Amino acid sequence: MTAHTNHETDAVHVIGGGLAGSEAAWQIANAGVNVVLHEMRPVRTTDAHRTDSLAELVCSNSFRSDDAANNAVGLLHAELRKLNSLIMRSADANQVPAGGALAVDRDGFSAAVSAALVAHPRIEIRREEIAGLP
């Protein structure tokens, strides 16, 4: 007997390719589940965004303190790294000097996240605006 899988009906739909949506899609796909990641850009743009990259940082390029021993945010970073976080891996790979903070090159960071999601065999990216639940 051959199992039939339909990517459309057997997938988890994630709406929005920001930091949370990108990480959610990554974690779900790495758990062995197909993902459809919906991102409205470039179909619909915003004043805050300047690219169509996934996980584009629109405000600060800082992820705040990276001190896991003395700061709750730094501890969260350490925990995310242990969980194979795409966001943290991409941030670490694109880090720029910022004292004790984790700051990143915005373009390199979003390019790294985008490339990893596009290359993942369980993730389909759809560039469309979602006005209701799929």
Inside any domain, residue 37? yes
8 A C-beta contact, residue 114 and residue 56: no
30-84 pLDDT per residue, tens: 999 999 999 987 666 666 666 678 998 888 788 899 899 999 999 999 999 999 9
Is residue 115 predicted with pLDDT exceeding 70?
yes
Q: Are 33 and 128 spatial neighbours (Cβ–Cβ below 8 Å)? A: no
CA pair distance 46, 54, nearest whole angstrom:
14
Domain for residue 47, yes or no?
Answer: yes
- Please indicate, yes or no, if residue 65 is contained in any of the structural domains: yes
82 within some domain: yes
Residue 93, SS3 per DSSP: helix
> CATH code at 97?
3.50.50.60
Structural domain count, the chain: 1
Range of the domain at 47: 11-127
Global pTM value: 0.86
Assess if residue 53 is contained within a domain: yes
